[in-house]
Amino acid sequence: MRVIEDPKINSILPFIKFDVDDLQTILNDQSSLYIIDNMMLTKMKRDFVSFPLLVKGLKQSKLIVLPDIILEEAARNLPNEQRFKDTYYELFEILSSEKEIYVAGLETIAAFLQRMVGKNESLSLLKNIIMEATRINQNIHNSIRQINIHSSSVIDEFSTAIFHNGKNAGERIITIFALAFIRMFYSPIYIFSEDVKGIYGAFKTFIGNERLLELIDLQDHSDLIEQYRFLSYETLIQVMYQESKIDRNRLMQVIENSGRNQSRVVLYSLDGFPCHTPIPNHQLATWIIEDRIKIQF
């Protein structure tokens, strides 16, 4: 992973890990994990420092897997090591006090799959998972199809195809990671993202994809829904409230001063009735306190 060699991230190295064996040990002990996209990492860098209680919203797992491309993007967007430290040091310090943070690349996923099914079978499986994950982008899908899994540079070739024109590469990698971890029986996967097109849109295409369900060893779409989950900022705040039991004034302070976008159209149920609307800040606070809302995305 190139990001390991980037001096910009030196300040957070004490808080992150890369070792495949250690990651596998943790996953064998507790199989669920969080994957965070770039937009959420950007929001977290301010909000978790201002409101450290938000880390309690990540209660479903002690493990965060951060795709290397997400960390690369974070570093690329800042000019030097000091600016990166000023921006991310406190966030990673807070997260590491509660979580194990692992940075993983596509080669990490390949190594896991190889341990499970052997080298040739693992590369074939990874290729097919990538193809199904990128089916909505035919250019990438066709590029992956043409890759020879026996090539010595096959992982680099996968990466080159996935990073096609640089747009939405992080979202594609997150999706591939989630599907691969589910295939390795590590789940539920909690994807911390509000990306409607790149993350949730891709997930909706998976529901009726019987080929994909077979590849990741799931019986039907209900299994996928159970194991492939989403965490939005609204859910983060709701779980934080349930875990900390702060009062309404404090809850409103967190909601109004966080990166939560109250104009975002939220998929949720209220008193059991499905809804798909924006939720004003004050309304969200009321429904959370009254325990009336269940947020899907």
* Alpha-carbon dihedral sign for residues 262, 263, 265, 269: positive
Angle CA 205–259–240, to nearest 5 = 85
Predicted pLDDT of residue 197: 85
What is the rounded distance in angstroms from the CA atom of residue 215 to the CA atom of residue 183?
7
Q: What is the 3-state secondary structure (H, E, C) of the chain?
A: CHHHHCHHHHHHHHHCECCHHHHHHHHHHCCCEEEECHHHHHHHHHHHHHCHHHHHHCCCCCEEEEEHHHHHHHHHCCCCHHHHHHHHHHHHHHHHHHCEEEEECHHHHHHHHHHHHCHHHHHHHHHHHHHHHCCCCHHHHHHHHCCCCCCCCHHHHHHHHHCHHHCCHHHHHHHHHHHHHHHCCCCCEEEECCCHHHHHHHHHHHCCCHHHHHHCCCCCHHHHHHHEEEECHHHHHHHHHHHHCCCHHHHHHHHHHCCCCCCCCEEEEECCEEEEECCCHHHHHHHHHCCCEEECC
pLDDT at residue 168, as a whole number: 72
Q: What pLDDT is recorded for position 1?
A: 67
Do 187 and 220 contact (CB within 8 A), yes or no? no
Nearest to 185 by CA among 158, 213, 218: 218
Residue 233 CB: number of other CB atoms within 10 A? Answer: 25
Per-residue model confidence (pLDDT) at position 208: 87
* Tens-digit pLDDT profile for residues 265-285: 999 999 999 999 999 999 999
Reported as a single tens digit per residue, the pLDDT across 63-73 is 999 999 999 99
Provide the b/e sequence for 176-200 (b: ≥16 CB within 10 Å): bbbbbbbbbebbbbbbbbbbeebbb
How many other C-beta atoms are found inside a 10 Å radius of the C-beta of residue 279? 23
Cβ atoms < 10 Å from Cβ of 260: 20
Place of tokens 């692992």: 102
Instruction: Pick out the chain residues at pLDDT < 70.
Output: 1, 165-167
